Every structure is written in C-alpha cells, then in structure tokens.
Amino acid sequence: MELVLPEAIHAHLPVLVVLLPLFGGLLALFTGLIQRGGGFVAWLWSAIITGLILVCAASMLFEVHTTGEAMVYRLGSWPEQYGIGYSVDALNGYVILVVAIIGFLSTIYAKDSVMAEIARDRHHLFYSVWLLAIAGLIGITVTADTFNIYVLLEISSLTVYTLVALGGDRDRRALVASLKYLILGSIGATFILLGIGYLLMLTGTLNMNDMHEQLVRMHQSGELANNRTVFVSFALLMVGLSLKMALFPLHLWLPNAYTYAPSAVTALVAATATKVGVYMTFRFVFTIYGGVYDSSADLYFLGLCACAGVVISSMAAIRQMNVKKVLAYSSVGQIAYIVLGFSLANESGVTASVIHIFNHALIKGGMFMAVGAVALRAGGTKIEDFKGIGRKMPLTMAAFTVGGCGLIGVPLTAGFISKWYLVVGAMDEGYWGIAFIVLLGGVLALVYIWRLVEIIWFGKPDDPTKQVREAPLSMLIPMWILIGASVAFGVDAGWTADSAHAAAELLLEGGP
Amino acid sequence: MTATPSMFVATVAAGLPTWEFALSPILAIAVPLIGAFLIAAAGRWPNLREGVTLVTAAALLWVVANLNNFLEATPSEAEALVEVIPGMPLAFHLEPLGMIYAMIASSLWILNSIYSIGYMRGNKEKHQTRFYVCFALSIASVMGIAFSANMFTLFVFYEALSLATFPLVTHKGTPEAIKSGRTYLGILMGTSVCLMLPAMIATYVYTGTLDFTQGGVFAQPLADGVLTPALFGLIFAMYIYGVGKAALMPAHRWLPAAMVAPTPVSALLHAVAVVKAGVFSVCKISVYIIGVDQLRLYDQGGWLLYAAGLSIVIASFIALFQDNLKRRLAYSTISQLSYITLGAALLWPISVRAAAIHIAAHAFGKITLFFAAGSIYTAAHKTKVSELDGIGRKMPWTMGAFAVGTLSMIGLPPTGGFISKWYLMQGAWTAESGFTIAVLCTSTLLNAAYFLPIVYRAFFRKPPEPDLEHGHDDHHDHGEAPWPIVLALTCTAAATVALFFYPDLFVGYASMLAEAMPQ
Amino acid sequence: MESLGHFNYWLAIVIIMIGFYGVIARRNLLKQVIALGLFQTGVFLFYVTMGVYRSPDGTRGVAPIWTDAAKTGPFDNPLPHVLMLTAIVVSVSTLAVAVAIIVNIQRKYGTIEEDEILEADKRDS
C-alpha cells in the first residue's frame, strides 16, 4: 500500500478520508450544470471519490496493523488538549474500512437504482448529499474530539434524513418516516451533546484521551467517588447513543426509515449508520470511562435491553409483510447482538461485537441490495412481489438466500463466526441464559428468513405474465462482492477475527 | 453367494496398486462436490447427467476403499483444510467408526443411483437435475461428517447435510411437501443450533479443544473440579438431544415428515445417510468427546438407556398402526436408530461395538425395504399396507427382497440384523442391564408384529377383484418395476444376507474401535 | 441552599424538559419541531452558563477578551461559548431540514397532524 501512496499524502490520510467526501460532495453540486448526462457524471464522481476513500482506509488500517501504533493527525498542529485531533487505531481503522467498503460498493450499486427511483433533475443533489453522509460517518469514526463527534454526527444524520426523505417521490410514507427519524435522532444527538457538556465540565477538555487521563487522575485522587456528574454524563450519553444505534426499545425510528428510503440509501445506511453509533458507544464506554467509572450496572441494563431486543424484534420481523421491513426489524435484532457482546465486557464478547459490526455490514448491505434489485425489476418489495421470483432473478435471490443463511448463523457464513464469539463470551461469564437467547435469536431468524425463502423459490407469482428480468450487472457485482465476502470471512475468519481481537484488546486495556 | 458391495470393494481395493501418495479424506469430500458441479453442468443431457452420477459414485467408492488401507484403530493425524476461527480448523482424519459410515454411504450410493434412475424416470419426476445435484451435495456432507476430526467440522457438515437435503424433501413442491420441509428443517436446525451448538461451545470453554480425542476431552476439567459432574451430564444430554438426526424421541417428528420426499431420498438419506449421521454423531461424541468411561466414572448418562429404550418401544407401537407403508418404515427406523443409541448408552466398549455393527446392519436392511416400497409405488402406484394383498405374486423379486429386509429388522438369521442383535445382547449381558434385555425382546416381538403381516398379505392373500365400475384397472395389470429398480433392490437384499455370512468387514472395524477405547 | 445556588443550571434543565415534553406530547408536526428547537436551546444555555466563572468568594470572571482585567484576573471560559456557535448552526440546519420535510408532507398528505397522517397511511395499506 505504501508504494501506491506517496509519503506526503500518507501522513495526511486520517484527515483525507473526511475531506475527500466533504469537498467531493460540494463539488458534486456542479454536475447539475451539465445539461445531459449530469446524473451519470455525478455518479462517476462519487464512485471515484469513494474509491479513493477505500484506498486511503485500507492503507491506514494496513499501517496501523504493521506499526502497531495509532496514526495521529492534529488539525492545525495544535496540541491535543486545544485543537481537534484525528487518530486511527486498530478499532476505528477497522470501522472506517467497513464504512469505506460499503460506501464504495453501494455507490456503484446506486447507479441504476437511483436512475429508477430519484427524479432526473435531482441526481446531482442526491450524490452531493450522499457523499456528505459518508463524510459524516467516516468523520465520527476518525475523530478523537468529542465535540467534533457531535458535529459530524449531525452532518451524517441530517444528510441521512434528507436521503430517506427522497424516497418520498415514490412513497409518501418516506417523508413521515424521515421526520420521525429526524426528531428522534435529534433528541439522541442532543442527549449526547448534554453528556459531553457534563464531561467537559468535569474534565475541562474535549479530547477523548485527555478526558480519560483527567478522569484517571481524579479517580486516583478520590475525587470521583460518589461523583454524580460522572454518573449523569454516562447516563445521558447512553440514552443518546442507544437512540442513535437503535437499541431496543429506542429503535422505533428505524423500521420505517429503512423501509421507505430509496434502495441504495437503505443499503448504505443499514450497513453503516447504526454501526458508527455502536462505535461511538465503544469509545465512550471503554476509552473514556474505562477503568474509571464502574459501568457494570449500566452494561447489565444494556445487556437486558439487548436480550429483549433480540427476541422481540426477531418476532416482529416474522410478522412483517414487506421484505424491507423484515430486514429492518432483523437489523434491530442484530444491533442487539452487537450491544449484547460488548455489554459482557470481556474479551470474547467485545471481539464478537467488533466482528459483527463488519459481518453484519456485509450481510445486511448485500441483502438490502438484493431487495433493491427486486424493487427495480419487479416494482416493489412487498411479499407478493417476491412470489416465485427465484426463477426469474436467480442470481439476486441466491445472494439473498446466502445472506439469509448468514443472518441465521449457518456455519461457514460470517454470521456464525460472530455468534460463536458471542456465545463463548457469554459462557466465559457463566451466563448460559444469554447463550440460549443468542441461539434462540438464530432460530427466530431461521423462521423469518425461511418464510421468505419458501416464497421466493416455491411461490407462484400472482401474475405469471409479468416480465421480470435479472438485475443489471452494476447491482449484481457489488451485491455478490458483499455476500461473497461474508461467506469467505465465514470460511476463513482469520483476518477479521485477528483484527477484531486486536480492537477488543485495545478497548479493554483500561479495564471495563 | 454374492459378495456384498463393500466386501467386493475391499477385495478389489486390496488388489489395486498401492496409492503412491497419501490419499486424503479431503478427496472423499471433493469427489462428490466436483460431481455435483459436473451434474449441474450436464443437466441438459439426462443420459450424460446420470452417467456422471454413476461415475462419481464409483470414484467415491474407490477413494473410500483406498482410504481403508490407511485405517488404524486410533484416529489418524488430522489434516486441516482451512482455519475457520483461529484455533478452530476444518480438519479431517480416519478412524474406524467414520470408516464404517463412509463405507456404507459410498457403497449404497452407487446402488441408490441406479435405483434413482429407474425411479425418477419411471415416475416422470420434475427437476431431476436439482435432485441429482442435491444428492451429490448431501453425500459430500456425509463424507465430511464421517471423516471430521473435530466437533466443529462435524457440526459444519451436519448443518450442511440438513440444508442440502431440504430441496430433496420439498422436491414435489406441493403445499404438503413444503409443510413437511418446514418441520424437517425446523426440528433439525432447531435442535442442533439450540442444543448441540451451546454444548459444543461449552465444551470449548471448559476444555479448550474440540478435537476428537481417544477417551474424550473432559477427563482433566472433571478431575480438576472446574466442571461439576452435573454440568457434565447436562452437556452430554444437550449433545444427545442436539443431534436431532438420531431421531431420539421426542425429536423424531422430522423423520415421518421427510417421507414426503421421492423414495430414493427416503431410502438412502432418511434410512441411511441422514439418520446414520445422527447415530454416528451420537457414537462419535460419546466415544471421542464425552468419553464413555468418564460417564461411567461420574455416574452420568444412565438416563439415556431409558430414553432410548422407551423410544424403541413407543416407536414400534406407533409403527403398528401406520397404514402408509413409508411411514411405517419411518417409525421402524426411529426404533432401530434407538438400538444404536442404546448400544452407546450402555457405556461399555463391547456395547459400543454392537452399536457400530448395527449402523451397518440396519443400513442394508432398511434400504432394501425402502427400495421395495418405491418399487411398489412405481409399478402399482400403491402406498398403503392395506392395498398390498397378493402383490407378491406380481412382483416376486420386490417382495422377496422385502421379506429379507423384514427378517433383518426383526433380527432373524440369515440376515445381518441377527449379527448386530447378537452383539447388542452380548453388550446388555456385560452391562448386566435387565432393562435392555427386556426392551430388546419386546421390540423383537413388535417388529415381527408390524412387519410379518405385510409379507403375509403380499404372498398369501388373494389380490382384490378388479374394480370394473371405474373401468381403469391398468394399475392392476402391472408386473415388476423397471429393471434398474429391481437390480438395486436385489443387490441390497443380497448384501443383507451376505452380512450374515461374512460379517468380518464391519465387525472388524467395530472391534478395532472397541479395543482402542479405554476399558 | 447549594441547589439554589445552581439556579442557572436548573433553568437550563427546565427549558430542556419543557422542550422534551413538547416533542413527546404534541401531535402537530410543526409544534414538535418547535419544541425540538426549544429542547436544543436549553442545552445551549446549559453550555453557556457552564463557561461562566465565579470563585467561591464571589468574584466573577470577566469576558474573555483581550483587556487588562482578563490578563490579570479570572475570566469566563470561552470554549463552551464557541462550541455553541457551531451547535446553533447545527440546530438551525436541523430545523431547516425538518421544515422542508414538513412542507413536503403538507403537499403530499394535505395535513401535518400526526393522527391524520397515520389514518391516511392505514387507509393506504
């Protein structure tokens, strides 16, 4: 990787991954000036930008793994107490790579999907907002400054609200879903802002590492004993973050937003937005409060919510009549797995969380792409549209089925690897009940996936004369890359497991 | 006397030049897997496709027979294919129990393929390519299970087998088939994911390994007191009920449901490959993970004897009242499978040996019975026991073979069933288990009660008068089934008898297994 | 009396809670968004008041500008105030997006009452 990128650029990688989509998004607006084919130019531009981000992200993670140290970038060369610092370590290098991969592939995928679903005169706007969303998501992950997290969080959220609302051209419910998402998302963000405020008051700094050091100093001098400020800040942050990552029962915005958003948006958002929320939670719980604040009671509560989420949202998924909604509820359940993992606060549990961020992004991204392809070719995502579609779109539906096996946790798919670590983590703590809930979730996933599989492969179409073609290559290729990767990382999880393990060790070194 | 297919193979294998480089168990999985791709590619030309199936089956048998030469009593060095999770490879080895299973499955696959050709063409079934492809995939999974060197590998292929057989069960695509498929997959996946998987992970957490080890892996944590005997017993129970394929009651309902599949599937998969995967896993887990001597030492697992015994008797009773021939056979299978579980549950090497022999004996007998049932369906379109009056006169070969299979199920000479029952009795005496002896006697009587009437009807009752009112009595004018079917079922019947006269091959394997176990 | 001494914080929290209540209780989308604005403004006030310096003996900090008093004596912390400039921008953008969506809802549904919208959705499906 170092051969590809000159040394001068190399040092600036942490900030480049944010600046590229940020300015790329602004420049994308100008493609609106092109009379004919502006939409295509906007798409091409976005694909180039996201491709570059992917290269940057991959080389950053490569460097972090080879040197074993974090890459630190200080904006304006200010010392980290005063200025904004960006830093990339084993954990967020990994998450950035996830976002970059999904960002690139879903941009490729978006070409035909956006052509069909978004009005022609808005394509330049769509891609502009699209790139800004990616900038926000990557920014949250790369920054080490808590207030910067808030700002970038809002950049990503505002753009995602807009993207979801663009689905309103086809189905007006997208607008309501988007507004609901906006209101709940803003409440979450405001809670986070308030929590950061309490932390600022306590430590006088905004930099995460500095905050942690201050807290450790106060902890050692006994100032933190029975300190309600630290308690309140933790509680506020947890509420806000739970809203952002759609932890049951604060997930209400998610199903409709995913269902009515344009297909490409769903693929991007489902695979990345909540994952970034989980990443923030890692940072707050472990990097800032780790070893300072006894969060075991809070984590226990989060774990309970997650257990309930696994079971209840999977049961809700069984009843849905819209395939996108089935997957959306399934996402709520899968997020609950991730939360469950780190709430165990042991090595296997956190490893399970980190690895599932990656695995679930691959699986769900691929599956939503498959559903989007059906929306394009068959005109809808209701259960009826899927009847017997396996014979007409075999490649797409094969991807969907393989992805579904991943959700169930069939061995040799990525989903199994996550589940394995999660159950090992639970059993390490002696929580057999949690182990059973995790596995029960797998059985429920079997029910809601198999219901779809039966309809797809054995159903009889309502209108046999309807012509449905296989999805275009621009959709099939990214879809199969994701699904193929989910199987490849299920067969040989060496790389993902090692990376996730390194990240887990990093998080836990301060103690839970 | 015709030699049994496996004996034949063993003889041929001995005459073959020694394989120059080490033949790997991985090849046994690769052959049917490659075969599946070739079958799919040859889908448009039925003759070529069936040719590929037969060649693949023959190649597999040749590979397995050659592996035979490398077999030793203790498991061979594991060969890792790929490391799935760090420290958790997909790995394969050779050991006697797996060899028995692989031998049975690979030799019967050839006969079953011949039979399938007759059956599928005779009944003009649809989607035949999918059928042959899934069949080859199932056999690949079976080989994976047979040669797995650790619990993880076994689990992976166990699940693969469930998934690969699902399209075969729902082959007809009717609502009934789909419903049965749901029961099938639900029970098999549900039990394995909810019980076997946590048991496996618990094993890993407590012992740090999942490798199949002579004498089990639990001795150390039990001795150290890290693991309480009660929890050990619980893990054992989770394994046993987690292996839903062993059809131990109450996890048996998938088996009658699977009878909706075409008969070749019921014959090879649901009388041999899939259910044997279950009991094979039970035996392998008992011997190489749990360790029967550990169970004896800590006084756990005694309940399994009673569970298996009850399963035998209850399933036999249910079989008495089944009018659908295939369902009756399915319940008979449930009861026969529990013989094997019973053998393992007696917890003595000699009884484990009996269980291993019964795996083979039951396979040949039961596949004959299913072949006969399919033959009757193809020729006469009859599925019920009550319709079989006098059919033996029209289909003497089929019903003759059926009678041989029946004798084997009851455990009478001159069939293989007698041999395994003999050893099982021996095991029961060694373990001084009166309960087992009582169960064996009762079930022998029950087996006779539900099988012999069929033979009696077929040969000694008069066929019903043709129903002239309805006019179409073409079904009554049937003769034997197509020749591939008759050929296949004659071979398996002959093998069942041969197993009585030449039991050495399988008894030899089983004895190797028993002798290597800690006494 | 310590809690009364923190009256500025109390005030901020009260405003936050009034806004929060409004978001939850109101069924009119525009009113929800207004309440959301109030909710966020409460947090801004919280930050602003956080920066104010008052020592235990009652001396107050001066404005953090380049004067002699600020060079020698205590001064208010400018950091939270600066942060709020950014946060206000964020809040305004949020409101802008929200209002834009509401306008579209009004166009497509002909109403911005949540109950009526739910009713319309039920009729659709």
Give the residue on B whose Cα is nearest the Cα of A418. B85
* Averaged pLDDT, C82-97: 91
d(C-alpha A343, C-alpha A348), whole Å: 11
Q: Which two tokens stand for residue A348?
A: 């296997």
Question: pTM score > 0.95 for this model?
Answer: no
In this complex, whether A and C touch, counting 3 or more CB pairs under 8 angstroms, is yes
**CA neighbor of B261 nearest in space, from B148, B343, B183:** B183
Q: Chains A and B: how many Cβ contacts under 8 Å?
A: 73
Partners of residue B190 in chain A, C-beta under 8 Å:
443, 446
Distance to chain C for A197, nearest Cα, Å: 7
| Residue percentage of chain B with pLDDT more than 90 | 1
Partners of residue A443 in chain B, C-beta under 8 Å:
189-190, 193-194
CB A410 within 8 A of CB B163: yes
Give the residue on B whose Cα is nearest the Cα of A410. B159
Answer whether A318 touches B (CB < 8 Å).
no
Q: What's residue A182's pLDDT?
A: 93
C-alpha of B402 from chain center: 18
Most confident of A132-141, B159-168, B224-233, C60-69: A132-141
Mark yes or no for CB contact A458/B156 under 8 Å. Answer: no
Give the residue on C whose Cα is nearest the Cα of A176. C105
Answer whether C29 touches A (CB < 8 Å).
yes
Segments making up each domain of chain A, as ranges: 295-512
* Mutation site for B-interface testing, chosen from A310, A318, A410 by largest number of B Cβ within 10 Å: A410
Q: What's residue C58's pLDDT?
A: 72
* Mutation site for A-interface testing, chosen from C13, C84, C94, C111 by largest number of A Cβ within 10 Å: C94
Using CB atoms within 10 Å of the CB of residue B283, give its burial: 0 to 12 exposed, 13 to 18 middle, 19+ buried.
buried
Partners of residue B186 in chain A, C-beta under 8 Å:
446-447
Please, what are the averages of pLDDT over each run of 10 residues along chain A (512 residues)? Answer: 63 88 90 81 91 91 84 83 85 89 92 85 89 93 91 93 88 89 92 91 86 87 81 90 89 89 91 90 87 81 91 91 92 92 88 91 92 87 86 90 90 89 88 88 90 86 80 90 91 85 83 54
d(C-alpha A91, C-alpha A503), whole Å: 4
Cβ neighbours around B451 below 10 Å, total: 23
Answer whether A398 touches C (CB < 8 Å).
no
Residue B41: CB partners within 8 Å, gap ≥ 6?
none
Mark yes or no for CB contact A168/C108 under 8 Å. Answer: yes
Partners of residue A439 in chain B, C-beta under 8 Å:
193-194, 197-198
Task: Fill in the amino acid letter for A479.
Answer: M
Answer whether B48 touches A (CB < 8 Å).
no
Looking at the partner chain, which of C33, C80, C105 has a beta carbon nearest the beta carbon of A175? C105
Give the residue on A whose Cα is nearest the Cα of C51. A201
Mark yes or no for CB contact C86/A147 under 8 Å. Answer: yes
pLDDT at C2 > cutoff 80: no
Answer whether C36 touches A (CB < 8 Å).
yes
Mark yes or no for CB contact A182/C101 under 8 Å. Answer: yes
Q: What's residue A365's pLDDT?
A: 92
Helices A263-282 & A146-165 angle (0-180, nearest 10): 160
CA angle A340, A445, A338 (to 5 degrees): 20
* Averaged pLDDT, B309-323: 88
Q: Which two tokens stand for residue B186?
A: 């639900």
Residue window 172-191, chain B: list those with CB within 8 Å of chain A: 173, 178, 181-182, 185-186, 189-190
Looking at the partner chain, which of B82, B159, B204 has a beta carbon nearest the beta carbon of A492? B82
Segments making up each domain of chain C, as ranges: 2-124
Mark yes or no for CB contact B194/A439 under 8 Å. Answer: yes
Mark yes or no for CB contact C98/A182 under 8 Å. Answer: yes
Answer whether B170 touches A (CB < 8 Å).
yes
Residue window 71-100, chain C: list those with CB within 8 Å of chain A: 79-80, 83, 86-87, 90, 93-94, 97-98, 100
Answer whether A200 touches C (CB < 8 Å).
yes
Looking at the partner chain, which of B84, B159, B178 has a beta carbon nearest the beta carbon of A454? B178
Q: What's residue B365's pLDDT?
A: 87
Neighbours of chain A (3+ CB pairs under 8 A): B, C
Residue B470 pLDDT level (bands cut at 50, 70, 90): low
Across chain B, mean pLDDT equals 82
Segments making up each domain of chain B, as ranges: 5-466+474-516
Looking at the partner chain, which of A183, A193, A201 has a beta carbon nearest the beta carbon of C43? A193
Answer whether C106 touches A (CB < 8 Å).
no
Residue A367: CB partners within 8 Å, gap ≥ 6?
A327, A399, A400, A403, A404, A407, A483
Paired with A322 in beta bridges are: A382
CB A302 within 8 A of CB A343: yes
Partners of residue A175 in chain C, C-beta under 8 Å:
101, 104-105, 108
Q: Where are the alpha helices (DSSP H) in A344-393?
A: 347-378
CATH of C2-124, one of 3.20.20.70, 1.20.58.220, 1.10.287.3510, 1.25.40.10: 1.10.287.3510
Least confident piece of the model among A304-318, B487-501, B505-519: B505-519
Mark yes or no for CB contact B194/A491 under 8 Å. Answer: no
Q: What's residue A337's pLDDT?
A: 92
Using CB atoms within 10 Å of the CB of residue A18, give its burial: 0 to 12 exposed, 13 to 18 middle, 19+ buried.
buried
Looking at the partner chain, which of A161, A176, A193 has a beta carbon nearest the beta carbon of C117? A176
Residue B285: CB partners within 8 Å, gap ≥ 6?
B151, B239, B240, B243
Q: What's residue B89's pLDDT?
A: 85
For B5-29, what is each residue's pLDDT tens digit?
455 555 555 554 444 445 678 888 8
Give the residue on C whose Cα is nearest the Cα of A200. C80
Give the residue on A whose Cα is nearest the Cα of C53. A201
- Phi/psi at A361 (nearest 5 deg)? -60, -45
Q: What's residue B469's pLDDT?
A: 52
Partners of residue A197 in chain C, C-beta under 8 Å:
43, 46-47, 50, 80
Helices B128-147 & B25-41 angle (0-180, nearest 10): 170
Least confident piece of the model among B384-393, B449-458, B463-472, C104-113: B463-472
Residue window 429-488, chain B: list those with CB within 8 Å of chain A: none
Residue B468 pLDDT level (bands cut at 50, 70, 90): low
CB B61 within 8 A of CB B106: yes
Across chain C, mean pLDDT equals 85
Partners of residue B197 in chain A, C-beta under 8 Å:
423, 439
d(C-alpha A398, C-alpha A9), whole Å: 41
Answer whether C43 touches A (CB < 8 Å).
yes
Q: Which two tokens stand for residue A227?
A: 């300190």
Give the residue on B whose Cα is nearest the Cα of A496. B85
For B402-423, what is each residue's pLDDT tens digit?
888 888 888 888 888 888 888 8
Q: Which two tokens stand for residue C31?
A: 């009113």
Q: What's residue B359's pLDDT?
A: 85
Partners of residue B185 in chain A, C-beta under 8 Å:
446, 450
B220/B10: higher pLDDT: B220
Task: Fill in the amino acid letter for B146.
Answer: A
Partners of residue A420 in chain B, C-beta under 8 Å:
85, 201
For B260-277, what is each residue's pLDDT tens digit?
888 888 887 777 788 888
Partners of residue C17 in chain A, C-beta under 8 Å:
none
d(C-alpha A198, C-alpha A221), whole Å: 20
Q: What's residue B225's pLDDT?
A: 77
For B222, the enclosing helix (H) or strand (E) is: helix B219-224
Give the residue on C whose Cα is nearest the Cα of A154. C90
Distance to chain A for C53, nearest Cα, Å: 12
Neighbours of chain C (3+ CB pairs under 8 A): A
Task: Fill in the amino acid letter for A463.
Answer: D
